[in-house]
Amino acid sequence: MSIEIELFGQFASSRKRLQTWEIKQPVLIRDVMEKLGLKDEEIGLISVNGVLSEPDELVGPGSRLCFFPPMSGG
């Protein structure tokens, strides 16, 4: 099984925006962040299958994991 990872904003400027990783069991979101070179302070939102998530949660096979940078607007 696999997870689909999507990076938004500046995260996608130096990395592949859409990635598929093969996993056999759930993994910590934090471990995915580490392999992608993302730091906690760089991240605005994380979602798993459209649900707001935290770095210390597990993501399982068949999931869609998205990382968003902090957003601002006016």
pLDDT by residue (tens digit) across 23-60? 999 999 999 999 999 999 999 999 999 999 999 999 99
Q: What is the dihedral of CA 20, 51, 66, 55, to 10 degrees?
A: -100
With respect to residue 47, please indicate whether it lies within any of the assigned structural domains. yes
- At 24, which CATH number? 3.10.20.30
Going by pLDDT thresholds of 50, 70 and 90, the confidence category of residue 72 is low
Token pair of 44, please?
A: 């605005």
Domain count, the chain: 1
Give the Cα-Cα-Cα angle 24, 37, 21 (nearest 5 degrees): 25
Q: Domain range holding 60?
A: 2-68
With respect to residue 45, please indicate whether it lies within any of the assigned structural domains. yes
* pTM summary value: 0.91
